[in-house]
């Protein structure tokens, strides 16, 4: 019973992290699509809200990925602690695990690119903008190009998260 309680707790945390990994890019995408209706010209107050929101989500995305990895490792270790061996898995579950891990690593790579390269440059460019002042045309163009790149990466991350969610359903497959 203790093993089942631990496993259930880990699985619950794992599922919350999975949903968070899908929800963050989903809602970010909705915000970016709405903002896109105003075109690639700086609207300071609107763009401040967008940047604060998108960049403010970074810690949550990182927390979800760390939780995903930690609980994903802890679940088989929990089984090992109670049984002295890792659980045998069927071919379908093994393929699902490999697919899930590949796409989680892909999501991690995407987040590293966004949080490590794109967001810092966007913050740097944003620091040069001010309300009521006309932005430098080159910086404004770079700003929106980086935003477009971030949007494309978030779109890919959302697709990856859906694959992870679907693959997760097959991990308990027993033939």
Q: For residue range 94-106, list pLDDT tens digits in order.
A: 999 999 999 999 9
Per-residue pLDDT averaged across 52-77, rounded? 92
Per-residue pLDDT averaged across 159-175, rounded? 87
DSSP designation for 134: P
pLDDT score at 122: 97
Q: Compute the distance between CA of residue 97 and CA of residue 167 in angstroms, rounded to an integer.
A: 7
CA-based radius of gyration for the chain: 20
Reply yes or no on whether the pLDDT at 90 is more than 90.
Answer: no
Contact between residue 18 and residue 10 where contact means Cβ atoms under 8 Å apart: no
pLDDT score at 85: 87
pLDDT score at 175: 60
Contact between residue 22 and residue 162 where contact means Cβ atoms under 8 Å apart: yes
CA distances from 112 to 54, 62, 150, 161 (A): 15, 9, 11, 15
Tokens 């966007």 map to which residue?
122
139-168 per-residue burial string, b: 16 or more CB within 10 A, e: under 16: ebeebbebbebbbebbeebbebbebbbebb
Q: Which two tokens stand for residue 149?
A: 């790149």
pLDDT in tens, 11-52: 999 999 988 888 888 888 899 999 999 999 999 999 999 999
pLDDT in tens, 115-166: 999 999 999 999 999 998 999 999 999 999 999 999 999 999 999 999 999 9
pLDDT score at 173: 74
- pTM (predicted TM-score): 0.87
């Amino acid at each position: 019973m203790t093993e089942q309680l631990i496993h259930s707790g880990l699985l619950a945390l794992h599922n919350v992290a999975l949903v968070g990994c899908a929800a963050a890019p989903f809602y970010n995408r909705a915000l970016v699509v709405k903002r896109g209706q105003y075109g690639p010209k700086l609207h300071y107050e609107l763009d401040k809200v967008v940047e604060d929101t998108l960049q403010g989500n970074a810690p949550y995305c990182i927390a979800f990925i760390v939780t995903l990895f930690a609980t994903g490792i802890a679940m088989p270790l929990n089984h090992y602690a109670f049984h002295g061996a890792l659980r045998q898995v069927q071919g379908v579950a093994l393929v699902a695990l490999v697919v899930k891990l590949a796409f989680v690593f892909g999501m991690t790579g995407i987040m590293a690119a966004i949080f490590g390269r794109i967001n810092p440059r966007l913050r740097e460019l944003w620091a040069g903008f001010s309300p009521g002042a006309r932005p430098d045309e080159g910086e404004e163009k770079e700003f929106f190009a980086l935003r477009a790149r971030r949007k494309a990466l978030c779109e890919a991350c959302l697709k990856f998260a859906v694959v992870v969610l679907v693959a997760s359903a097959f991990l308990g497959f027993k033939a």
